[in-house]
Chains A and B, each alone.
Chain A
């Protein structure tokens, strides 16, 4: 049989044999589930863009061009540049190697390091980064040299990974999943992904009304235009225009976290050689146009031009020189540059960088000029109320910052910093230490690249590893982002749904999480088809953490638009324009004004381009976004905004005129008419129709069966719980070392599922079990969302799961300093040491545990001892003490794997081991389960099978749930699933549960009801049932069917917390916090209120005193103080223990030694002695009371402040009323 290509078509059926075959013979051509890979691809493609393989320059190459050449001068710092030698240096090229064994390891035959090894070794999957530098001295011959810059983490399945384009068979061979997706990094054995971030749409001037704009200074209004301009290397520079009260406009930008303001005319005049008339006409339009009679506009433009006169700068060169003089220090340019050149550099680096970033031509400067003019126009329109603000929280004005792009930005900035700061200071240091040396001298040539580069911190890669492992961005410029932390998350492989969701997750930004207003969290209609309305968590991240729909793609490359300007011109776009949008609207492509047309014509241009793009003619690319904003009365500023850039979202819909696939973007979508279903198409209005209404849902939301029958919050809950399910993380569990991993032992494929379940290959990762569920109130143990499972179902393995915990034990101290590299500890028993038989039995001779052994609390996991090298260099133990690592969990487990982890260089004795412990977790009372409809419940009883109700066919339910779970929650989808599951089980079919397939005429209940009837069951899904206890038929027919149940990872064993007494906080004597440490649960104010209200005083006392800081304490009744009492010391007591403890008040007693001449015989009362041997008499009115420990603490604290507390023990101790009497000494004797 000739091997045919692996089929990638799936429907909703079981395909048992086909899947069996895929498992036994992983395909050698391509995956059977391409949709999975597509879901992750934006991450991988964005990383690939850093170093491209197709000949085009990668992002970093663009970045290097932007960094440019650095110029260093020798000689005295304070002197001017004259007569000094110049050293020009630039980074010519940066390369990244695939992960390899370091050359110090001579033994390894296979030099490649695969990701699986990094996971097992808790290492980082990284490759060597090296850069080629080129320098010349005084403009002489260029010299090249290459330096290594450390090892940077590499994204799995990227073009720098060994797994790129591997077939499933090869992936399995390399210890990966057969459907390994990549898209993440491995840092210290953890899988980390860079979150997708929503940022402002690039190269699009957004009209903003923000109250904080007025804080910029006097006269500033709330109006502004924000342009997030993106360079070819994907770094961005935000330009803002501010509208001032008098009609003036300022240009604002921020550079290295500082803000700068410039009059906008200065920018205009610096860009091109122009005059006031040109600017005036550029803003308002040619003479005679309608806008020229708009006095609002003309007044303001006149003022704009007039106020600028104060600067007395007229020509382009004057203006640039002025700018250069002001920004010389800010930009950090070499001293050799003239002011004019610095001004040019300023425009290159800051103003509209998307229109020309490197080697800016005059044409590009003109484009920038036109762009700034357009921005001013839009600003005036906004200020005049002619156009509405653009909502920065709507997806219409957003794009996605991809992980790879962010990575490239950080890399570029690090390289820039390295050359501009580290190398510069290293050279300066060298020249200071050797004042006689200059760049031309021989000595310097000896020292130059090598010595000086070694002195500067060359390890750029370290910073990237830090970024990935912590998610913190350390950057001098801030990268035009609003947050500095939280960029990365661990891609937890709790189950596959959770894992895949990480890659589809889009975050609005940590900045917005602290925002008090909820406007950013709003679900907007613009999001349709791009962001899933269902799949967002509830609680604090609600609406900020969204998930992309399963059909949403993110562009990762520019599409070819070289032909578009010509086409647009051909279609009638002209160069002259007027400020009135009735007369002319802009045609803009990627933030470049390519023409103007009348509003009517712009629609025609848009329609033509749309037709051609879908048709695939005229070199109009299919993924081009044609954002046609129609003219309106005070709506968004009209125009035709084409975009071809990466980081856009696009999604497929059907274009009606051609019945072909079109891709639409979020910017154009609000102005298009896209029918959701074919019936909805309105002739002459609708241009597109959705392929499927389920395209608006995320992968996870699509897995909820019949979700259109449920109340929508329930679908949200299911999206949460699907991700918390104890499922199957994958098939390569053997080669994973997650800190904690959950696995279900008896996973099944759901009977009721959507075809997408197969398309995404979720049968490879079962997430639950089909259970026969009866909705009945039977036992009384199922109130409040509790559920009952059949004890026999439990015994057959229903919901049986396992937790794997991996413990890494390293003998190397984990400090970041690499100073201590020597071996000081070794695994194993110390020679001649005492080892107890119990410990001996737990470990092998190598000091490591037996694989398969059961470990309980306080069992030893491994043994180690200290070593020192002797004179032969052998490591010997001197102290003869064996140390042990103990298993500290309270739960029993089994040693599953013991891994001995060698060093990358292969030249180290055993220093690190990794022990995987398997903890069986069969369901116990208190574990959490849920159906796929947000119906979670806690297991309350394992009910004996004999006592379970049974149906006429002899079926017993596996699960009983309470009918009260339904009326308020309205999860009808669960009923339909039950019905469908039952019919599917009876007929041996998988049931298609795609939402929106049934309607009022063809109901789901009818469809599945008939299937049930055919199988001889009740049409409605009810059945007569019999009590398992009495055998009598139950009074009502019971709704019973098959529902897919998930076991959630929240288990009582990880949660229960009990305590009567235990560890306490030393200062107060109250229980400590925390389950891990045996602390208590706080009985707070509300709980206290409840106990008070119930009159349960005894319980209240028990909670707040007896189980808390119950303290017996001595107190003096006379002076009412805790602090003055002290125990007496008896001279005659034989030992400390035996002494009858007496407590006396020192305050009320009289010291005998002080009062001379007292006749001891006259004294009344017992004489007692304190610790110092002083004798006292009196102070014997002490008593013991029980008080809260916190009260004594308070007393001491107040005493320290000089406040005395006096306690009244008894009625008789009450203070006397009346005038105060002077304190008298107690009379002693006569």
Chain B
């Protein structure tokens, strides 16, 4: 939707759609020091970083890491 469209100001509030769906999922998932895998921009090797780890490739000390393409299914409406 173009953002330029004028929204009629409502006092009752937008009742944000996302907020009430399925409730909160926070908590336990996040404090388990998520380990993610990245690709080193220098040597191309896999780099696993824990949450507070320093950003550097363990093999070559590369300073730029790329996020991998997601393994989730990505599907868009083809038009």
Partners in one complex: yes
Interface residues of chain A, those whose CB is within 8 Å of chain B, are: 101, 105, 107-110, 117, 120-121, 826, 828-840, 844-846, 848, 850-854, 857, 874-875, 890, 897-904, 906-910, 1057-1062, 1078
In the assembly, what is the distance between CA of A493 and CA of B71, in Å? 33
A1138 vs B68: C-alpha distance when bound (angstroms): 60
Q: Note all chain A residues with C-beta closer than 8 A to B30.
A: 828-833, 835, 845
Given A835-B26, A852-B70, CB of A901 within 8 Å of CB of B55: yes
A853-B70, A901-B55 known; A835+B24 contact, CB < 8 A: yes
* Max chain A C-beta neighbours (<10 A), residue from B27, B38, B55: B55
- Given the known interface contacts A836-B18, A850-B70, A909-B52, the answer about A110 and B4 at a Cβ–Cβ threshold of 8 Å is no
Q: Would B4 and A834 count as touching, CB distance under 8 A?
A: no
A-B contact pairs, 9 of them (CB 8 A): A826-B51, A829-B26, A845-B30, A851-B67, A857-B3, A875-B52, A890-B1, A898-B67, A906-B63
Residues in B whose Cβ lies below 8 Å from that of A107: 56, 61
| Measured CA separation A1058–B25 after assembly (Å) | 40
Contact A902 B52 (CB under 8 A): no
Contact B26 A832 (CB under 8 A): yes
Report whether A831 and B31 are in contact in the complex, using a CB–CB cutoff of 8 Å: yes
Is the CB–CB distance between B26 and A117 below 8 Å? Answer: no
Given A109-B61, A890-B4, does the pair A908, B74 have CB atoms closer than 8 Å?
no
Q: Is there a chain A Cβ closer than 8 Å to B41's Cβ?
A: yes
**5 tightest A-B CB contacts, nearest first:** A902-B55, A838-B18, A850-B70, A107-B61, A898-B67
Min CB distance B59 to A, Å, is 9
Residue B2 interfacial (CB < 8 Å): yes
The contact of B74 among A852, A900, A907, by CB within 8 Å, is A852
State A110–B41 Cα separation when bound (angstroms). 13
Task: Give the complex CA separation of A833 and B30 in angstroms.
Answer: 9
| Complex-state Cα separation, A1062 to B4, whole angstroms | 8
Give a binary string over B9-38; 1 marks a CB under 8 Å from any A CB, 0 the rest. 000000001110111111101110010101
Nearest opposing residue in chain B for A113, CB measure: B63
Contact B65 A902 (CB under 8 A): yes
16 new A-B contacts, CB < 8 A, other than A108-B60, A845-B29, are A109-B60, A110-B42, A117-B42, A828-B30, A835-B26, A846-B34, A851-B67, A852-B74, A857-B3, A900-B55, A900-B66, A902-B54, A906-B61, A909-B54, A910-B49, A910-B55
Q: Which of B17, B66, B68, B74 contacts A853 (CB 8 A)?
A: B74
> Which residues from chain A contact B24 at a C-beta distance below 8 Å?
834-837
Residues of A within 8 A of B19 (CB): 836
The answer on a CB contact under 8 Å between A902 and B63 is yes
User: Does B6 contact A1060, Cβ atoms closer than 8 Å?
Assistant: yes
A904 to B70, CA, bound (A): 28
Which residues of A sit under 8 angstroms from B60, Cβ to Cβ?
108-110
Q: Are B6 and A909 in contact (CB under 8 A)?
A: no
Instruction: Chain A residues near B65: list those with CB within 8 A.
Output: 899-900, 902
Q: Which residues of B contact A857 (CB under 8 A)?
A: 1, 3
Bound-state CA distance A182–B75 (Å) is 41
A1086 to B67, CA, bound (A): 54
Given contacts A836-B18, A1062-B6, are A908 and B26 in contact (CB under 8 A)? no
Contact A899–B64 (Cβ < 8 Å):
yes
* A830 partner residues in chain B, CB cutoff 8 A: 30
Nearest neighbor of A835 in chain B, beta-carbon distance: B26
Shortest A97–chain B CB gap in Å is 19
Please determine whether A898 and B36 come into contact, CB atoms closer than 8 angstroms.
Answer: no
Query: Contact: B64 with A832, CB < 8 Å?
Result: no
Known contacts: A851-B70, A909-B53. The answer to whether A1078 contacts B4 by CB under 8 A is yes
**B3 and A874 contact, CB distance less than 8 A:** no
Number of B residues near A (Cβ < 8 Å) is: 44
Closest B residue, CB atoms, query A107? B61
A890 to chain B: closest residue by CB: B3
Task: Select A874's contact among B52, B53, B54, B61, beta carbons within 8 Å.
Answer: B52
Q: Are the CB atoms of A832 and B31 closer together than 8 Å?
A: yes
Bound-state Cα–Cα, A333 to B19, Å: 74
A898 to B74, CA, bound (A): 16
Asked if B66 contacts A898 (CB within 8 A), the reply is yes
Assembly CA distance A1061 to B8 (angstroms): 10
| Distance from B72 Cβ to chain A, minimum over Cβ atoms (Å) | 6
Across the interface, A850 reaches (CB within 8 A) one of B53, B72, B76, namely B72
A837 pairs with B64, CB closer than 8 A: no
What is the CA–CA distance of A846 and B72 in the complex, to the nearest angstrom?
15
- Give the shortest distance, in Å, between A163 (CB) and chain B (any CB): 16
Q: Is the CB of A908 within 8 A of B29?
A: no
CB distance B52 to A890 under 8 Å? no
A906 touches B54 (CB 8 A): yes
Contact between B56 and A906 (Cβ–Cβ < 8 Å)? yes
How far, in angstroms, from A516 to B18 measured CA to CA in the complex?
A: 60
* Residues in B neighbouring A1061, C-beta threshold 8 A: 6
When distances are taken between beta carbons in the complex, the residues of chain A under 8 Å from B51 are 826, 828, 846
Q: Which residue in A121, A837, A854, A910 is a CB contact (below 8 Å) of B76?
A: A854
CA distance A109 to B69 in the complex (A): 28
A1061–B64 alpha-carbon span in the complex (Å): 46
* Inter-subunit contact B36/A899 (CB<8 Å): no
Q: Which residue of B lies closest to A119 (CB)?
A: B64
Q: Please state if B63 and A839 are interface contacts (CB–CB under 8 Å).
A: no
Report whether A105 and B61 are in contact in the complex, using a CB–CB cutoff of 8 Å. Answer: yes
The reply to whether B61 and A833 contact each other, CB–CB distance below 8 Å, is: no
Pick from B3, B66, B70: contact of A844, CB below 8 A: B70
Q: How far is the CB of B65 from chain A (nearest CB, A)?
A: 4
- A908 near B64 with CB under 8 A, answer no
Contact at A1078–B34, with CB atoms within 8 Å?
no
**With A120-B64, A902-B65 given, is the CB distance from A890 to B2 under 8 Å?**
yes
**Residue pair A851, B69 in contact (C-beta under 8 Å):** yes
Q: How far is the CB of B9 from chain A (nearest CB, A)?
A: 11
Question: Which chain B residues border A109 with CB–CB below 8 Å?
Answer: 60-61
CB of B18 within 8 A of CB of A839, answer yes
B56 near A897: Cβ-Cβ < 8 Å: no
**Are B34 and A828 interface neighbours, CB within 8 A?**
yes
B58 to A: closest C-beta gap in Å: 8
- Rounded to whole angstroms, the CA-CA distance of A1209 and B64 in the bound complex is 72
In the complex, chain B residues whose CB is within 8 Å of the CB of A1060: 6
Q: Is the CB of B34 within 8 A of A845?
A: yes
Quote the shortest CB–CB distance from B43 to chain A (angstroms): 9
Q: Which residues of A contact B53 (CB under 8 A)?
A: 909
A837 and B18 contacting across the interface, CB-CB below 8 Å: yes
Q: How far is the CB of B7 from chain A (nearest CB, A)?
A: 9
User: Which of B29, B64, B69 is the one whose CB lies under 8 Å from A901?
Assistant: B64
A498 nearest CB across to chain B (Å): 27
Q: Which residues of A contact B76 (CB under 8 A)?
A: 854
A900–B67 touching, CB < 8 Å = yes
Q: Is the CB of B6 within 8 A of A1059?
A: yes
C-alpha gap A236/B9 in the complex (Å): 65
- The complex places the Cα of A839 from the Cα of B26 at a distance, in Å, of 11
Question: Are the C-beta atoms of A903 and B26 separated by less than 8 Å?
Answer: no
B41 touches A903 (CB 8 A): no
**B-chain residues with CB within 8 Å of residue A108 when the two chains form the complex:** 60-61
Instruction: Point out the residue from A838, A903, A909, A1058 that lies within 8 Å of B63, measured CB to CB.
Output: A903
Residue numbers in A under 8 Å from B72 (CB-CB) = 850
Which residues of A are found within 8 Å of B29, using beta-carbon distances? 845
B64–A844 contact, CB under 8 A?
no
Residues of B within 8 A of A839 (CB): 18
Query: Which A residues are CB-close (under 8 A) to B49?
Result: 846, 900, 910
Tell me the complex Cα distance, A107–B69, Å.
27
Contacts of A909 in B (CB 8 A): 52-55
